[in-house]
């Protein structure tokens, strides 16, 4: 059996180990998230991930 020598990109690897979730936010909260994300220069998704990671570290 022949094995592939193709290297897997970090994005491909992450997509195989990540799970997608959908969360509904009220419009005001989205506005606040976007303002903070813009202020620190990251995307909304990155901000949410950062904050959740920080919170989970605190409670672990």
Structure tokens of 30? 């989205």
Domain that holds residue 43: 25-60
Give yes or no for a contact between 37 and 47, defined as CB atoms under 8 angstroms apart.
yes
Task: Confirm whether 17 is domain-assigned.
Answer: no
9 is a domain residue: no
- Residue 40 CA: distances (Å) to CA of 31, 46, 56: 15, 11, 21
Number of folded domains that form the chain: 1
The pLDDT tens digits for 4-34 are: 667 777 767 766 788 899 999 999 999 999 9
- pLDDT tens per residue, range 40-53: 999 999 999 999 99
- Judge whether 13 lies within some domain: no
Name the pTM for this structure. Answer: 0.70
């Amino acid at each position: 059996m022949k094995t592939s020598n193709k290297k897997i990109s970090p994005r491909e690897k992450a997509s195989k180990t990540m799970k997608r979730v959908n969360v509904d936010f009220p419009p005001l909260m989205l506005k606040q998230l976007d303002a903070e994300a813009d202020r620190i220069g990251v995307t909304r998704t990155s901000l949410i991930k950062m904050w959740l990671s920080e919170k989970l570290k605190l409670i672990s």
